[in-house]
């Protein structure tokens, strides 16, 4: 793998899968000991430049999770902008 961004993407993918598995495992262990666990989930889907964010779960978690999703969406848009700007600069140099 010569491309460092590809390597970083694969590492982030596997780290996310490990977090999902770890959270499911912790949720089953703590629910057996404490009697109840509250959780929430949120996500953002980007269509062109329009983020559509959603959330489900305990209402105390949703503002935090949706805020984090929006921050990640802005980071994605910034990354795309920087990559496109770099590509446009390399095309002008040729």
Domain ranges of the chain: 1-37, 38-94
Which residues of the chain, if any, have pLDDT below 70? 1-2, 30-39, 49-50, 93-94
* Cβ proximity of 80 and 51 under 8 Å: no
Residue carrying the six token digits 């959780």: 39
Which neighbouring-strand residues pair with 47? Answer: 50
Calculate ∠ Cα 70-74-80, nearest 5°. 145
pTM beyond 0.75: the answer is: no
Give residue 5's pLDDT.
Answer: 81
The pLDDT value given to residue 47: 76
């Amino acid at each position: 793998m010569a491309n460092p961004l590809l390597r970083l993407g694969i590492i982030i993918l596997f780290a996310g899968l490990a977090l999902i598995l770890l959270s499911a495992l912790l949720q089953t262990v703590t629910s057996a000991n404490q009697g109840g666990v509250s959780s929430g989930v949120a996500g953002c889907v980007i269509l062109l430049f329009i983020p559509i964010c959603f959330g489900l779960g305990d209402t105390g978690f949703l503002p935090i999770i949706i805020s984090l999703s929006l921050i990640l969406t802005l980071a994605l848009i910034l990354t795309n902008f920087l990559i496109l700007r770099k590509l446009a600069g390399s095309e002008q140099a040729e």
